[in-house]
Structures are given as structure tokens and as C-alpha cells.
Amino acid sequence: MRIVIFAAGSRGDVQPCAALGRGLRARGHEVRLVASGRYTALTRAAGLELAPLTADPTEILDSDAGQELLAGGRNPVKFLGGFRRILGPMAEQLLAECLDACKGADLILGPSLGLLQRHIGEHLGVPWGLVHFQPSQPTGAFPHPFVPQARLLGPLANRASFLAVDQIAWQLARPFINPWRGGPLGLPPEPVRGPMHAARRDARPMLACFSPSVVPRPADWPAYVRLTGYWFLDEPAWEPPARLAAFLAAGPPPVYVGFGSMVPKDAAMTDRVVRTALRLAGVRGIVQGDPATSDDDVLAVRDVPHSWLFPRTAAVVHHGGAGTTAAGLRAGVPTIVTPFFGDQPYWGERVAALGAGPAPLPFGAMTVRRLAAKVRRTVASGEFAERAAGLGHRLREEDGVARACDLIDAMRR
């Protein structure tokens, strides 16, 4: 098949899709990734074709609107409304780029935001499916990651929270999507209930890119929701720079601190807080940053594969993106999540519930003393280490890419 995968987001969205694409390519499929041009090297290294989007997630998050988005926490109206304000002015161009990227496709896969694969698949007459990086299917077992308060009102409220987020997302996207459907796509407008209602009604395949060991499958999820396990893009041949190898060999395992594609408003102040907290906690550290700022106790690095680095640390501190959380848990080391927005607080809560780390420390509340206390407690805790090691072993036994590829192969039959 000629398969198109939408991966329009940060590296945490793109890298799992590249892993899936590489697995599909190994089975003889042609795979095109739709992602920011920033990820050209990553895509090509996986042996995939890239259809580049002009929107750059890092530039977006570094803008004033992006900083407002980061400050919105997990409020679904602020989160989804922020995306509308940011992407609205470039919506027409982005939609045209996505449509062009799908020419010649036999199957289109993508996330639920906007559900572009549904509209384009309907226009082209080709099958399509969903990719979920966090729980997005209604259930009575727990609420939507953006609406944790619904848990207080029981199973019915839990289910309703998912439908409410779907409806908010659709009402914000509808002013862009329906004119596009009526214009370039030549389709009737989407009904008021929105495309997610239609996707569930039609039992469209939904690939959930997370592990049942991290999010146990609710009994009320239908069969078309398939938990595949995580999709990891390993780099076994990667060799560390001499300075990194020497630093790791020179003392006890360090604590890693990095916030991925999140762009703090005052990066210099954040760096000082992190380094001071590591010293106060009495640990060595590896941080994201300029290698020239390294010293005897803290090494700054650029891009280092998490699959290589995390198993060599005493603990990891990060923003709680789905991909980074998965990498930390798979490494079998304790995790401290410092969430900014979106689903990040949810993943921090899951880490704590699994006993693989302490309760999350929101980035906006992070101080030297609070971070140092979290690090000190986490590194000293035998219980965190034991729980994290056991969970890491289970995740390393899974092959989410192979499972997803099997399901995708079955879509054409």
C-alpha cells in the first residue's frame, strides 16, 4: 500500500509515526509522513518520504501566542482555542498541503485533531484510520485527560467529558473545515455532531499508541480501539560523543533534565533553576543546552537518543509529553514530570499512579527547592526504582510497531 501518516506536531508526535512508518516500509509498503520540514533528517533516516508542512511547532511555541498556549494548562477550551488562534491564519495553506500530500494514497492515518484523514479520505475514496497518542475514546472508567474533575461525578460524567472535548474541538475547527469540504473537497458540510461521532458510528480503526501496562484497557472500549503498545524509534548504532561517554564513566548515574520542544518564556532562568536544584539535591546532571556551558557536575547536551541515554541515568525529569514519558518508563528509571499543558499533566499522574515516580511538579510551580526535593526523594526511593524497573521490563517485552503493522495490514483485507 501507499500509506500517508499525519504527524503534524512536535518531535514527540513525529518520532512514533516515523517508527511505525519504518516498520511498514520493512513490510513492503510505501510510506509518506506529513510533518514539519524541521523533521526532514529524522524522516529520511527512517527511510520514509516527507511531505513538509510550513508550520514549525518550535517557532509556534516560541511565539507570544505559543507562550499563551503553554500557560493554558489542561483547560480544553484554552488548549484547543489556542491552536485555533495560532493555526487559523495559515489554515488554508496547511489544508492545501495536507490534501496534496495524500495524492495517490491507499490508506490515510492521522490523529483526531481536525480529523483531516476523514475529510481527505472521503474526497479521494480511500480508507482511513485514527492514531491516538493519549486516551481519546469515551469510557466510564476515567475522564478525558483534559477534564480530570469529571471523575468526581462518576462514570456518566467520565464518558461525557470525552464527548464534550470532541464537541469543543469540532466547533473550533468547523469554521475552517466545512468551507474546505464545500470548496476544494467538493463534499457536503460535516453535521453538527462532528466527525468524531461519525468515526465511532462507522467503527473506524483506532490505533492507540500506548501500552496497556500504562493505561489499562477499559472494559467498555469497543473492539475497533486497538491498544498496540508504544512505537519506539530505536537507534542501536548510535555512538555517544567522547565527552558524554567520559562524563557517564566519571561518577554515579546522573539525573537527566529536559523539556523537549517546550520553550520556557525565560530559558536562561529555567536553566539556572535546574542546575541549582541538581546541586542542592547532591546529584550529577545531564541537561538540554549548549555543551559549552557544561561543568564538572552538569553536562549540557544537544540531541541524544532517549533510548540510549535514559537507561544510563538515575532518574529523568521532563515535561510529560507522551513520547518522552514512554521512553522514560521503558528505560526502567524513575520519572519526575513537570507538565506545561495539554495531556502532559495526565501522563504525570499516570507515572505517579504506577509508582514509577512522585506526583508531578507543574512547570509553572517549579522552584529550586521544590525541584531539588523531588529529585532527592526520587533518587533515594527504592520503591520508585523497583516499580520503574518492573514496568520498564514489561514495556521492553512489547512490540507496538509490529502489532500496529499487523492491524494496518488487515485494513486492506
Question: Cα(153)–Cα(163) distance, rounded to whole angstroms?
Answer: 15
Nearest to 314 by CA among 386, 396, 254: 254
**Residue 249, Cβ density class (10 Å: 0-12 exposed, 13-18 middle, ≥19 buried):** exposed
Q: What angle do CA 207, 11, 177 make, to 5 degrees?
A: 60
CA atoms within 13 A on the CB side of 127: 17
**How much is the pLDDT for 185?**
96
Domains of the chain: 2-230+398-411 (3.40.50.2000), 242-397 (3.40.50.2000)
pTM score: 0.92
Q: With both helix axes pointing from N to C terminus, report the angle between 155-182 and 76-87 in degrees, rounded to the nearest 10.
A: 10
Question: Cα(360)–Cα(366) distance, rounded to whole angstroms?
Answer: 10
**How much is the pLDDT for 56?**
73
CB 322, CB 343: distance < 8 Å: yes
**How much is the pLDDT for 112?**
87
CB 101, CB 123: distance < 8 Å: no
**How much is the pLDDT for 64?**
65
**How much is the pLDDT for 63?**
64
**How much is the pLDDT for 87?**
64
CB 286, CB 298: distance < 8 Å: yes
The residue ranges of DSSP E strands in 158-296, in sequence order, are: 206-208, 225-227, 255-257, 285-288
**CA distances, 315 to each of 148, 234, 250 (Å):** 27, 20, 17
Give the three cell numbers for residue 399.
512490540
Q: If you ran DSSP here, which 8-state letter would residue 124 be given?
A: H
pLDDT in tens, the chain (413 residues): 999 999 977 888 899 999 999 999 999 999 999 999 989 999 999 999 999 998 776 666 666 665 665 566 666 666 666 656 666 667 788 899 999 999 999 999 999 878 999 999 999 999 999 999 999 999 999 999 999 999 999 999 999 999 999 998 888 888 889 999 999 999 999 988 889 999 999 999 999 999 999 999 999 999 999 999 999 998 878 899 999 999 999 999 999 999 988 878 888 999 999 999 999 999 999 999 999 999 999 999 998 999 999 999 999 999 999 999 999 999 999 999 999 988 999 999 999 999 999 999 999 999 999 999 999 999 999 999 999 999 999 999 999 999 999 999 988 65
